[in-house]
Structures are given as structure tokens and as C-alpha cells.
Structure 1
Amino acid sequence: MEDTPIWPTVDRLRGWLDEASTRPAEQELLLRMLKLSEEVGEVAEAVVGATGQNPRKGRTHTWQDVESELCDVILTAMVALRTLTPEAERVFTAHLGKVATRALGRNG
């Protein structure tokens, strides 16, 4: 699935989640936002495990696990953004442009 189109896939995932949900739309949106915290926690857990920070547990994760967890954070944020607005791709692209201009200058 290397050629998986990003935003159409995000839209399909959002639809799949919507179909499975039995909650009101507003509650589902809030829970998708909160899901980000869970995913960020999993990144932290993977980093601790990859570095062996917890001497009782030792090395429990790899840096590839960290990569995977970071991807989960990105995907969860994209689905949450798409749940918030049908214009998620436009909103994200515009925001990326602003950040790039601010950080990298006009020639970003």
C-alpha cells in the first residue's frame, strides 16, 4: 500500500469510525481529540522502552516501534482534523505553508 493516497484514506478511515460509532457526533469528535493524548503516551512508552530508561523492564521497544507510534499520532491527528472539518486537507496545507514561511522564510 505504498501508493495509498493520504487524504482520501484519512476520509475513508473517518467514515469507518463514524459508521462504528454509537455516540453523538459531538462526543465522537471530542473523543477523537482525546485519542491523541493516548497515542502520544504510546510514543513516550516506546521511547522509554527503546532507551531502556526503566531499569526494571530494560529495553522493551525498538526505534522502529517509536516510528510506528509517531505515525499513529500523525494519523490520529489527521482523522481528528477530518472529523472537525471536511476541509481538512486545505486547512492542513494552509497551516503547513504558514509554519514553513515563519520558520524557513519566504523561500521555505
Structure 2
Amino acid sequence: MDEPGRDVHNISTDPWESIGLLHAWLDARRPPDGADSLLLRVLKLSEEVGEVAQAVIGAMGRNPRKGVTHSWDDVQAELCDVVITALVALRTMTPDAREVFTAHLERVTARSLGAEGRREAGVAAGSGGAGSADAGSGAAGGAALGS
């Protein structure tokens, strides 16, 4: 649903600019709830993760009452919603969300891949493969990578 006077065809493709715009849009449309704002945005993240699970179950047809209800494109869209929601929550915590995320990503990548792993991942990334998503051995690196 388009807002009057809003040019939806001129929306930024820069993810961080979009996160900032979404953050501002949400802040302008919510009642003043102070610290609860972050809590509610984190809870929204849990809701979005549940929608990923629902889409995977639907794409695999694992609900015997419903059968196949989703596509893998639906799963991809739901995963994108998780990322967007997480970044908006991070932006709610700090105006330096881009820097915080970039620094954390660099730490997780270095810890998980190390020099040898980065070379291997470069080959995998260039081929479009999943690469070493399970290469994390450090506690935080592994947790961030889901292993």
C-alpha cells in the first residue's frame, strides 16, 4: 500500500539507507514506549524466524493437513525479512548500526575462516557455492554461523 506523496519507485537500494528509513518510519508510527521499543523489535525478530520455519515446513510439504503451501522463494523472502528485522533492531540500539555490524562481521569472519579459510571461501564464493558455512570453530563464530 503506497502512501500519498511517496515515490515508491525512488527508494534507495543501499541497505543501510533503507534500514535507516525503515527505523525512522517505525519510530514515527509507534506510541512512545521508551526501552520497550527495542524489546518489541527483538520479539518481532522471533516472529519472523517463526515465519521462516513455517515457510520451510510448507515448502517441504511436511504438514500432513496442508501439504505444500510455500515455495523456496517464500523461504528466501522470509529469510530476508529476518535480516531486515534484525538490522532494524540493531539500528534501534545504536545509530552506528552499520559500523557495529561491519566490525562484528569482520571478527566472525576472521575467527571462523582464518587466513586459510578465507582463501578457500574465496574459491567457493566465486563459484556461488555455500562454501564453509560450517567452518566456524570459535564459540561466538560458530554460534553466528549456526554450527
| TM-score, structure 1 as length reference | 0.94
Q: Which runs of 5+ in 1 are unaligned?
A: none
> In terms of Rg, which structure is larger?
2
Give SS of 1:33's match. helix
Q: Please give the per-residue CA displacement for 1:16-72, whole angstroms capped at 9, x wherever unaligned.
A: 000001132211111001101000000000000000001110000000000000000
Q: Which runs of 5+ in 2 are unaligned?
A: 1-8, 119-147
How big is the alpha-carbon RMSD for the aligned residues of Structure 1 and Structure 2?
Answer: 1.6
Count how many residue pairs are aligned between Structure 1 and Structure 2: 108
Matched, 1:64 2:79: no
Equivalent-residue separation in structure 1 for 2:78 and 2:60 (angstroms)? 15
Equivalent-residue separation in structure 2 for 1:94 and 1:106 (angstroms)? 17
Residue 14 of structure 1 aligns with an amino acid whose one-letter code is H
Structure-to-structure mapping, 1:49-60, within 5 angstroms: 49-60=58-69
More helix as a share of residues = 1
Structure possessing the higher relative contact order (Cα contacts under 8 Å, 6 or more residues apart): 1
Matched, 1:13 2:26: no
Sequence identity (%):
56
Aligned to 2:131: none
Aligned to 1:81: 90
